């Protein structure tokens, strides 16, 4: 692989910046560079099946161009720098994040892969806090990696900004702090059951009741910040299995105009694919490895479609002067609780799932496969405890 011979490629001035969508002539060398950086042996043909599936699906979903990531000769950081010479800082960061995504799918994570990715990032003149996390992982320091991860920019900023959108009784000291015994918050969530038929709020209420989830404000509930993503489950039509969690956070992370939102996708991959971030979100999610590698082609297609939907949502908001709304976990969803779900989707510019994602098993919260057997059991027990007949609202588990 070509070594870096110069400093970072300067960012282009506005008059020469390339703002056009990537075409094949740019996509192919980009893929060769990404594959060279993240392949365990430093050659595109050496990608693992999971890396190959995710990169192929992501590039085709985002660009409409099908490219084989394992094809071609290696392309080093200097050559890639020339490919990216007229691309903005933000564009280059997304390219490095694509490398990080593929890098963090490796188990174990070789030290030389983390070093190569850092070389490419250095040549592009950009950096991502997760590169330090990846280096910790490659050296086997999972405890330190988790600490660095939980202190990364996105999670740090969560506690620095106002939490009015969460409707908690007070400020949160930690991103994943639980708001135990917050009666007012619990009542607000419980009242979603009074929202109109077909509304987003009623959908979230049914989502919780069908699965036996405790509403925020209850001691056994999810942290209020984490509960924000449940609105996206209903809004984006994703069930509540682990595979669906990967889709939801893929959409949320890619929608955020702030590249630090990529940490959310890294979190779910570290929980549900590699196990690297085994105690993320204060252990609220029980980590369970291998949910992409068990069926890489289909899961890659589902993740890629979710990220495309997130990107298109962000572009719609950006084009309409609403860039501040691209962080979906910072949204006051109660403002939309009475809206029909379809009206919220149109307001935000959320596209439906692709036919290919549906064919690959992407499921709704209200259909077969939309919940786990454990969630079905919890929902049944909750209904019994509340003295009502259980209703899954169409959701059912599927025996894999």
Cβ atoms within 10 A of the Cβ of 367, count? 15
Residue 320 token pair: 């309409």
Per-residue pLDDT of 389-398, as tens digits, reads: 999 999 999 8
Mean pLDDT of 294-307: 98
Could you tell me the pLDDT band of residue 400, with boundaries at 50, 70 and 90?
very low
Mean pLDDT of 98-119: 94
User: DSSP letter string over 362-396?
Assistant: ---TTSBTSS-HHHHHHHHHHHHHTTS----TT-B
Residue 36 token pair: 């060279």
Mean pLDDT of 250-255: 96
Half-sphere exposure of 190 (CA within 13 A, CB side): 10
d(CA 351, CA 324): 19
pLDDT reported for residue 162: 65
Could you tell me the pLDDT band of residue 375, with boundaries at 50, 70 and 90?
very high
Measured CA distances, 298 to 138, 254, 286, 399 (Å): 27, 19, 23, 17
Residue that the structure tokens 């077969």 belong to: 368
Contact 337, 215 (CB under 8 A): no
Contact 247, 299 (CB under 8 A): no
What is the chain's percent helix, strand, coil content, to nearest 5? 55, 0, 45
d(CA 259, CA 330): 15
Mean pLDDT of 206-219: 94
Contact 77, 2 (CB under 8 A): yes
pLDDT reported for residue 165: 83
Looking at per-residue pLDDT, the higher value among 267 and 171 belongs to 267
pLDDT reported for residue 176: 64
Residue 312 token pair: 């298109």
What angle do helix axes 224-236 and 341-348 make, rounded to 10 degrees? 100
Which contiguous run of DSSP H or E holds residue 357? helix 355-359
Could you tell me the pLDDT band of residue 158, with boundaries at 50, 70 and 90?
low
Contact 150, 35 (CB under 8 A): no
Chain centroid, CA 341 distance in Å: 22
Per-residue pLDDT of 315-327, as tens digits, reads: 999 999 999 999 9
pLDDT reported for residue 113: 96
Checking if the pLDDT of 364 tops 60, the result is yes
Cβ atoms within 10 A of the Cβ of 287, count? 19
pLDDT reported for residue 71: 96
Q: Which residue, among 307, 220, 201, 199, has the nearest Cα to 255 in the 3D structure?
A: 307
Checking if the pLDDT of 283 tops 90, the result is no
Question: Domain coordinates of the chain in residue numbers?
Answer: 24-140, 157-385
Residue 26 token pair: 């740019």
Residue that the structure tokens 């989502």 belong to: 207
Per-residue pLDDT of 326-355, as tens digits, reads: 999 999 999 999 999 999 999 999 999 999
Contact 120, 77 (CB under 8 A): yes
Residue that the structure tokens 């924000």 belong to: 228
pLDDT reported for residue 393: 98
Contact 331, 337 (CB under 8 A): no
Mean pLDDT of 107-118: 94
d(CA 72, CA 42): 12
Checking if the pLDDT of 3 tops 60, the result is no
Per-residue pLDDT of 17-50, as tens digits, reads: 999 999 999 999 999 999 999 999 999 999 999 9
Average pLDDT, the chain: 91
Checking if the pLDDT of 155 tops 60, the result is yes
pLDDT reported for residue 173: 67
Contact 212, 379 (CB under 8 A): yes
CB proximity list for 326: less than 8 A, separation 6 or greater:
255, 256, 257, 258, 313, 314, 317, 318
Mean pLDDT of 44-59: 98
Sign of CA dihedral 36, 39, 40, 46: negative
Burial of 305 (0-12, 13-18, 19+ CB in 10 A): buried
Give me the percent of the chain exceeding a pLDDT of 70: 90
Looking at per-residue pLDDT, the higher value among 282 and 243 belongs to 243
Chain centroid, CA 342 distance in Å: 22
pLDDT reported for residue 96: 94
Residue that the structure tokens 């209903």 belong to: 234
Checking if the pLDDT of 156 tops 80, the result is no
Per-residue pLDDT of 75-93, as tens digits, reads: 999 999 999 999 999 999 9
d(CA 107, CA 138): 9
């Amino acid at each position: 692989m070509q070594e870096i011979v110069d400093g970072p490629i300067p960012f282009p001035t506005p008059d020469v910046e390339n703002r056009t969508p990537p075409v094949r002539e740019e996509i192919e060398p980009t893929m060769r560079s990404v594959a060279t950086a993240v392949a365990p042996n430093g050659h595109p043909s050496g990608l693992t099946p999971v890396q190959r599936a995710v990169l192929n699906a992501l590039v085709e979903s985002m660009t409409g161009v099908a490219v084989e990531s394992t094809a071609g000769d290696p392309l080093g950081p200097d050559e890639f720098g020339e490919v990216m010479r007229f691309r903005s800082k933000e564009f280059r960061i997304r390219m490095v994040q694509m490398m990080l995504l593929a890098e963090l799918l490796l188990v174990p994570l070789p030290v030389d892969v983390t070093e190569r990715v850092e070389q490419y990032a250095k040549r592009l003149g950009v950096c991502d806090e997760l590169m330090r996390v990846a280096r910790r992982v490659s050296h086997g320091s999972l405890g330190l990696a988790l600490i660095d991860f939980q202190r990364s920019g996105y999670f740090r900023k969560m506690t620095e900004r106002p939490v009015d959108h969460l409707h908690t009784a007070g400020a949160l000291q930690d991103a994943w702090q639980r708001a135990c015994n917050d009666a007012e918050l619990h009542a607000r969530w419980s009242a979603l059951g009074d929202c109109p038929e077909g509304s987003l709020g009623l959908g979230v209420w049914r989502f919780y009741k069908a699965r036996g989830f405790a509403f925020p404000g209850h001691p056994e509930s999810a942290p209020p910040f984490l509960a924000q993503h449940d609105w996206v489950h209903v809004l984006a039509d994703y069930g509540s299995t682990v595979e669906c969690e990967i889709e939801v956070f893929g959409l949320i992370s890619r929608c955020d105009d702030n590249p630090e939102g990529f940490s959310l996708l890294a979190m779910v991959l570290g929980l549900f694919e590699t196990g690297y971030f085994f105690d993320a979100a204060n252990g609220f999610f029980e980590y369970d490895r291998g949910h992409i590698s068990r069926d890489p082609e289909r899961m890659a297609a589902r993740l890629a479609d979710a990220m495309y939907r997130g990107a298109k949502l962000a572009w719609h908001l950006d084009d309409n002067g609403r860039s501040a709304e691209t962080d979906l976990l910072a949204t006051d969803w109660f403002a939309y609780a009475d809206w029909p779900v379809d009206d919220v989707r149109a307001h935000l510019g959320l596209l439906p799932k692709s036919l290919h994602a549906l064919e690959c098993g992407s499921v709704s919260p209200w259909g077969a496969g939309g919940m786990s057997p454990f969630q079905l059991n919890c929902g049944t027990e909750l209904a019994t405890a509340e003295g009502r007949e259980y209703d899954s609202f169409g959701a059912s588990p599927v025996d894999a």
